[in-house]
Amino acid sequence: MESLYFELGGSKVIERIVDDLYNRVLRDQDLAPFFANIDPVLLRHKFCTFMNTVAGGPYERSGLELRSAHFGAVNEGLTDSHVDKFVAHFSEVLNEAAIPSPLVEALIARVNEFRGDVLGY
Ligand code: HEM
């Protein structure tokens, strides 16, 4: 079976999806405050690298520390409900990009696997 990365259309498609995701997240009043002091260009880049890895693409990210990356946000009150909204935006972006629904489900399931790390449980 081809990897999710190639099924998605490779890094260009992933870059566009990540771009759309952040545009949505930064317009969401509940989520945007957590990103107030974060360089959006750098964050998009980091998230693209992460997505490429999640989707089984050729880029490896060593020492990915989701826990420490979100430590500040958790201290500022990040909860499951924020992650739910974030994941819902992600799902909508994938659907809008006409990604087939089995692929959307597979990606959402993989992103959800990192929920515990993001929230530090
Ligand atoms: C399962 C859901 C999520 C995943 C997989 C995820 C993934 C990531 C990744 C890969 C990074 C970059 C880490 C790095 O390479 O340094 C990051 C950074 C960040 N995320 Fe998330 N994220 C999720 C949910 C959220 C939510 C819901 C919020 C807030 C509403 C959030 C806020 C942040 C912030 C503020 C940073 C920047 C940290 C920094 O650079 O100091 N994340 N996230």
What would the pLDDT profile of 3-33 be if each residue is shown by its tens digit? 777 888 878 888 888 889 989 999 999 999 9
Probe target for ligand 1 pocket from 21, 22, 39, 43, with the most ligand atoms within 8 Å of CB: 43
What would the pLDDT profile of 90-116 be if each residue is shown by its tens digit? 999 999 999 999 989 988 988 888 898
pTM strictly above 0.85: yes
What's the CATH number where 97 sits? 1.10.490.10
Dihedral of the alpha carbons of 32, 51, 102, 28, in degrees to the nearest 10 = 0
Domain encompassing residue 42: 4-119
Q: How far is the CA of 82 from the centre of ligand 1 (A)?
A: 11
Looking at the structure of the chain, the number of domains it has is 1
Residue carrying the six token digits 């690298």: 49
Probe target for ligand 1 pocket from 24, 48, 65, 66, with the most ligand atoms within 8 Å of CB: 66
